[in-house]
Chains A and B, each alone.
Chain A
Amino acid sequence: MKNIYIFIAVLFIPWSFSLAKYDEFEDGDDIMEYDDNDFAEFEDVSEDTVTESPQRIITTEDDEEEATVELEGQDENQEDFDDADTQESDTESEPYDDEEFEGYEEKPDASHSKNKDPITIVNVPAHLQNSWESYYMEILMVTGLLAYIMNYIIGKNKNNRLAHAWFNTHRELLESNFALVGDDGTNKEATSTGKLNQENEHIYNLWCSGRVCCEGMLIQLKFLKRQDLLNVLARMMRPASDQVQIKVTMNDEDMDTYVFAVGTRKALVRLQKEMQDLSEFCSDKPKSGAKYGLPDSLAILSEMGEVTEGMMDAKMIHFLTHYADKIDSVQFSDQFSGPKLMQEEGQLTKLPETKKTLLFTFNVPGSGNTSPKDMESLLPLMSMVIYSIDKAKKFRLNREGKQKADKNRARVEENFLKLTHVQRQEAAQSRREEKKRAEKERIMNEEDPEKQRRLEEAALRREQKKLEKKQMKMKQIKVKAM
């Protein structure tokens, strides 16, 4: 008998060996299926053998130890057999009684779970660990913020240095030409502050005034946004350069009526689309300036040929050819009103206010990587600006040119009126209706019935008169048409 049991136990070993590899308890169910009455008493035995065999595997491959364990296992089995026999004899066909095998249950279950379900050591939640490594995303974020702050400080300082370098280079020239250099509009009196006006971390203004011919000159140093890291990264994809924009407002009597622009082709195309005056008065595409000896990179937009002829004198050509790489656009206009404003459809608008202006846009060399020394190369351009002011004052159109210019301006005004004609009509119509309504209300509110009647009659008569007038007009038109 014992031998048979041992044989069965040995049979179970390889089977449980394969099962021991699985984590799930489901395989345990397979074992439970052998819960026939024949094998019921061997439940413990099978479990024990199952536990013993993996223990054997786990421990060592040493034959001696295996042998000893085997012996031990067999001894234990025999003990179990004895126990099982004694206990089972009492309750032969009774189902497995939990209470009787209390002590055994835990052990097999514990060892059972050890086989089928290896202990998974759950990780300690990261925030309870004593390491900073788990917070690497946060550290990354903070590092990014620190990088942004560093870049802000560095960029701001660089822009500041560039602005002051520019000012120091140009100060002398400006002070010799203008009585008022630097004004921020806050002082009661017009005294030179002699300082740049910082509008932004990347935009600096300087207002100069007090010179013949011009009302004033506003210089804007539009630097790149070096203080914003996003902008710096975007510029790595698309290089751009700092710009110096100079806007000279001329007195009315100091400039004749013409519109003229010269600059890089790309800039002129863009300006022609954006600027109100260039789009209205200079309808042709930018022409090449090669005729006048300008380099190919520059093009000309002009209201009429005479203006170009007049503007392109020797000195101007000299300026333009020598500093072509720094020039973005130069615009002289008596109808300057800035870029086209986006207006809503039903809005009644007047023509925007115009001012006689000379507008210069220069690119700072270096294409972003400028150093304060580069500012010195812009000094000749300021001389060009001063020269242009004087030239604009001197240049006068001849009679033909003046006539043409006046015609152009009249044409533009007419077009504008036509466009808004519909709107103006509607506005007039609505005004008339308002008046009528007000009248009617007055009649209604009039308490005295007599007065009411009289007012109504008056209104009727007025209507009739209007109708008659209209009919007369129609008749006249018909007669004329005939």
Chain B
Amino acid sequence: VPPDGAPLTPARYKPPATETNPALEDPTPDYMNLLGMVFSMCGLMLKLKWCAWIAVYCSFISFANSRSSEDTKQMMSSFMLSISAVVMSYLQNPQPMSPPW
């Protein structure tokens, strides 16, 4: 049914309420970002290889879940940090990782 004669001024798009109400937002990318940074710091400082690998995974998960409004700089920086943690752990101790079992 086409709209009736009177000229209508369409209302503009407004972003959904999630941006004003932080409780509704999905917290996954933020948590993963934080976890990734914590793990990569642990991996660098304590020279734990598995920490560094988990940091890489966290940064990937954070990237996959991120909103498009989030800037890429943050993603790239956390990604680079985790990669550097892995590389540093291997430079300092080239031994392969041993499984925990």
Binding site for B on A (CB under 8 A): 125-127, 134-138, 141, 144-145, 148-149, 152, 176-180, 183-185, 190, 197-201, 205, 207, 209-212, 215-216, 218, 220, 225, 227-230, 338-339, 341-342, 386
Contacts and interface: CB of A to CB of B under 8 A. Distances in A.
Given A180-B10, A212-B4, 20 more contacts: A125-B95, A134-B96, A137-B96, A137-B99, A138-B97, A141-B53, A177-B1, A179-B3, A199-B67, A209-B10, A209-B13, A210-B9, A212-B3, A216-B13, A218-B13, A225-B64, A227-B64, A229-B64, A342-B23, A386-B1
A127 B10 contact: no
A183 B12 contact: yes
A199 B68 contact: yes
Contacts of B4: 212
A141 B66 CA distance: 23
A221 to B, nearest CB: 13
B16 A230 contact: no
A190 B12 contact: yes
B48 interface: no
B48 to A, nearest CB: 13
Interface string B9-35: 111111111000101100000000000
B5 to A, nearest CB: 10
Contacts of B15: 185
Contacts of A228: 61, 64-65
Contacts of A207: 13
Contacts of B60: 145, 148-149, 152
A137 B2 contact: no
B98 interface: yes
A283 to B, nearest CB: 24
B1 A176 contact: yes
B96 A212 contact: no
Nearest to B15: A185
A134 B97 CA distance: 9
B32 to A, nearest CB: 10
Nearest to A390: B1
Contacts of A215: 11
A127 B95 contact: yes
Contact of A148 (B11, B23, B57): B57
A361 B1 CA distance: 23
Contacts of A227: 64
A201 B75 CA distance: 15
A137 B97 contact: yes
Given A127-B96, A176-B1, A210-B3, A185 B64 contact: no
B46 interface: no
Interface residues of B, number: 35
A209 B1 CA distance: 14
5 contacts: A127-B94, A137-B97, A145-B60, A212-B3, A342-B23
Nearest to A209: B10
Contact of A341 (B13, B16, B21, B98): B21
Contacts of B10: 178-180, 183, 190, 209-210, 216
B13 A212 contact: no
Identify which of B16, B21, B24 gathers the most chain A CB atoms within 10 Å of its CB. B16
Nearest to A151: B64
Given A135-B96, A185-B15, A341 B23 contact: yes
The 4 closest A-B pairs by CB, nearest first: A210-B10, A209-B10, A180-B10, A207-B13
Interface string B52-82: 0100110011001111110000000000000
Nearest to B65: A228
Nearest to A177: B1
A339 B3 contact: no
B94 A210 contact: no
Nearest to A197: B13
Nearest to B90: A138
Contacts of B97: 137-138
Nearest to B96: A135
A201 B68 CA distance: 8
Interface string B38-60: 00000000000000010011001
B61 A218 contact: no
A209 B61 contact: no
B30 to A, nearest CB: 14
Contacts of B64: 148, 152, 201, 225, 227-229
Nearest to B69: A199
Contacts of A229: 64
Nearest to A337: B17
A179 B8 contact: yes
Identify which of B11, B16, B67, B94 gathers the most chain A CB atoms within 10 Å of its CB. B11
Contacts of B2: 176-177
A138 B67 contact: no
